[in-house]
Amino acid sequence: MRRTLWLVLTVILLILPTSAALAQTTPPTMSVAVGLDGYCGDEEGWCPVYVVLSNEGSDVEGTLSITSEGTDATYSVPVVLPTHSRKGYYLYLPYSFLSSKMYVNLESDGLLLASTKFTVHTLATEDRLYGIIGDRPSAFNFLSGIYLGGETAVANLDAATLPPDPLGWERLDLLVVNDTDTTRLDAERLAALTTWVEHGGHLVVGGGAGAIQTAVGVADLLPVTVNGIRQVENLSALLLTGVSHVAVGPYPVAESTLREDGNVLIEQDGLILIARRAYGDGYVDFLAFDAALNPFTAWDDTATMWTWLLNVPDHDHIALRNRYSAMEAAEAIPGIEPPSTLQIALFTFIYILIIGPVNYLVLRWRKRLERAWLTIPAIIIAFTSCAYLVGFQIRGVRPVLNQMAAVYLPAGGRTGRVSAVMGIFSPRRTTYDVQVGSDGVYGLGRDLFGGDSAAFETIASVDDGIVIRRLRLNVSEVEAFVGERYVEMETPATANLTVTRGTTGTLSLTGVLHNGGRSLQDAVFLVGDARQALGDLEPDGEAAVRVSYTPFAAQARSIGDRIMGPGS
């Protein structure tokens, strides 16, 4: 008996270290979901990448990074993975960073723990992306055949894993939510959905037998209030959409009452079948019947009805598009402008005059021509020192950050989209770490002219923004970045302006601008080819606007010069 007990204890002691060693050596695993069901834009916007890490080994504290073929730069986020944990991380990549080969790496203390490769399906600017959330996404495959300009892709999306930041939604043109539990949308994703609609998105919510569970999570966005479900024998009113024939039912439909700002598009015997609500720059449609339903006898009538439904005005996302103008604006840093051509010519003329005729005449007058070997080097040293001091005064000793931000707020909206252009000037050759309060950042400048685009080592997401790590700058160099994010506007800015036409064809704009809940420094009012400096505006402050401009006039000056004003 004692011998058996010792044998059992020995086996346990042998197993425990082995199990501990296995726990220590089991690497984390990762899965990657790119874009919206794999789709991203190819010319503008952001591509969300969702990485899920599973760790069955020891605790891991490291960095999750994404690299692109052809550049040494990375986008990264810090990672903390306790043992037996599973976490998801979102990274937002600018379109300029995307390539045919992308790599995701998990590193800790300089060791590579996990790595994988992924590809991106890019959509052209004129292409459309329609997302589907529901139990029967294949029922909407016909949407890919609807032509409204460019190709159409249909993405199967999951409410629980949608990007929590609206930047990740911008490539999406349409979202259909049908026969699904919308309470799976957490607060972050519901806010992102609301912002996306507000800035031009088109949301279609289906009804039918699952109308109540579908509507409950997005009730505040709908043009109607859903009250219950009932059966109808036909949906003949859908003939108004241009279809040829509607099959006989019965059909389960949602009973609803119209909101104050809702509009009825199709009604049948007092029952709202299709209603629409304009929400900011976007639209929210509610279908009382199941959106996956095909109640038509002709095979192409479903596409006909949806073509009618999707025929709404397009709203482009208001974002920075002209990269050259952005670069010019970033480089328009007051106080570090180089001397003008006239000043350089005058300096050169005085230098030649003194080192030549003046030096000769003075030495001849003093009868010391043999001293020219002393006076000429002295004059050269004096003028060189003067030029160096002037350059030193212009350049300074500290880096300069020049930042300009444009905020677009849809009419009646509460969330603004910020596009900030940042120019970082360095008086000497060195590296910097720069922290900015944005959700997405990408570099400008070097890649505009086919040069080295990796001026930085890493763009890392942190708790309160983004850090550009190891930004390499040469003497008197300006590196430009664009930072974008959505912000809540406590009190939006408003204006009461009047336009009058002059006798020469110019327009005069007069009135009062009421600032919102944020302080503005060196605010500028731009309209047409005119500019008015407003100075600093306190929250809820006011500024008088009085400016004349020529409509449709060509902009002779760059955006940077227009913002900074004459003499910049």
Distance CA 131, CA 172 (A): 7
Burial of 534 (0-12, 13-18, 19+ CB in 10 A): middle
Domain ranges of the chain: 2-122, 126-309, 323-334+399-488, 341-395, 494-564
Question: Quick one: tokens of 251?
Answer: 């059909």
Which pLDDT score is estimated for 325?
66
Element (H, E) at 106: strand 102-108
Point out which residues pair with 175 in neighbouring strands.
Answer: 131, 203
Question: Token digits for 185?
Answer: 């949308």
Residue 23 has pLDDT above 70, yes or no: no
pTM score, whole prediction: 0.79
Q: Check residues 460 and 505 and name the one with the higher pLDDT.
A: 460
Read out DSSP for 213-225?
Answer: HHHHTTGGG-SEE
pLDDT at 554: 53
Query: Looking up tokens 């052809």, which residue turns up?
Result: 70
Q: Residues 126-309: name the CATH superfamily.
A: Class I glutamine amidotransferase (GATase) domain (3.40.50.880)
C-alpha to C-alpha distances, 412 to 35, 278, 282, 493, nearest whole angstrom: 30, 11, 12, 11
Q: How far is the first Cα of the chain from the last one, in angstroms, to the nearest whole number?
A: 95
Confidence band, pLDDT 50/70/90 cuts, at residue 448: very low
Which tokens belong to 22?
């296995």
Type and span of the H or E element at 60 = strand 60-68
Q: Torsion angle, CA of 424/427/429/433, rounded to 10 degrees?
A: -40
The confidence score (pLDDT) of residue 552 equals 62
Residue 346 has pLDDT above 90, yes or no: no
Mean per-residue pLDDT for 263-267? 93
Task: Name the amino acid, one letter, at 291.
Answer: A
The C-alpha atoms of residue 429 and residue 205 are separated, in whole angstroms, by 56
Query: Which tens digits make up the pLDDT trace of 349-390?
Result: 888 888 888 877 887 787 777 777 888 888 888 888 887 776
Residue 481, helix vs strand vs coil: strand
Which range, 4-13, 54-63, 348-357, has the best average confidence (pLDDT)?
Answer: 54-63
The CATH number of domain 2-122 is 2.60.40.10:
yes
pLDDT of 16 strictly over 50: no
Structure tokens at 145: 């055949």
pLDDT, tens digit, 9 for 90 and up, residues 511-547: 888 887 778 878 888 777 788 888 888 888 888 888 8
Measured between alpha carbons, how far is 97 from 456 in angstroms, rounded to an integer? 13
Which of the four pLDDT bands, split at 50, 70 and 90, describes residue 221?
A: very high
Residue 262 has pLDDT above 60, yes or no: yes
Structure tokens at 67: 């690299």
Token pair 């000429």 in the structure block, residue? 376
Three-state SS string across 387-398, please? HHHHHHHHHCCC
Structure tokens that stand for 256 in this block: 């609803």
Q: Comparing 25-29, 108-112, 175-179, 288-292, which segment has the lowest mean pLDDT?
A: 25-29
Q: Within 13 Å of residue 350, how many CA atoms lie on the same side as its CB?
A: 12
- Look at 196 and 322; give whichever has higher pLDDT: 196
69-89 pLDDT, tens digit each:
877 788 999 999 999 999 999
